[in-house]
Amino acid sequence: MATNDAPEQAGFDAVAREYRPQIYRFLLSSLRDPELAETLTQECLLKAHRNWAGFRGDSQVLTWLLRIAINLQKDQWRNRRLQFWRQTTTHAVDVSEAGNWLASNASSPEQQVAAREQVKLVWRAVDKLSGRQRTVFLLRHVEEMEIAEIAGATGLSEGTVKAHLSRAMGRVRAELGGR
């Protein structure tokens, strides 16, 4: 490798180490398939590495990386629809395990079971959202991104992000029976 490329490579290595967990977490929460999330995380970082020299800094690095991840996720969803035989449910995370991902302040085993059941219901409701609503919902509530960051990552206007988020919240609440 040429010496001019060394600082650029070192810079990307640091970026990849820093943001990889967030990219993986977003893809895992969206796809709920650890192997697929890992594969798409690697593809995302590979695409970003290939285009690192062209990153202009118009947005934050995480926003740029999440936009790549979202595009890979959309491609995956399209492929799933077109190739129904490639379902990945055999590798999917059991929805009952999702409750274990979130900390519970419940003190009794009964309260912990109730909390896990509530998380299961939320995940089921999120599964029923449209692709855009699910993406916006997950970026807001799993990644805790601000509306402007979500808009940058998805390429949607802030108003459209707010509309999708509002509809997603309404659908999740309705699915949960107004809980």
Residue of 167, 108, 168 lying closest to 142 (CA atoms): 168
Distance from C-alpha of 66 to C-alpha of 63, rounded to nearest angstrom: 5
Q: How far is CA 103 from CA 29, 49, 98, 119, 173, in A?
A: 15, 34, 11, 11, 21
How confident is the model at residue 80, as a pLDDT? 66
How confident is the model at residue 1, as a pLDDT? 38
| Mean per-residue pLDDT pooled into runs of 10, the chain (179 residues) | 49 92 93 92 95 87 94 81 41 50 59 78 87 90 88 92 93 80
* Domain chopping of the chain, boundaries: 1-93
How confident is the model at residue 67, as a pLDDT? 93
How confident is the model at residue 30, as a pLDDT? 86
Distance from C-alpha of 71 to C-alpha of 37, rounded to nearest angstrom: 13
Quote the DSSP letter at residue 3. T
Q: What is the third-level CATH fold of 1-93?
A: Rna Polymerase Sigma Factor; Chain: A (1.10.1740)
How confident is the model at residue 76, as a pLDDT? 84
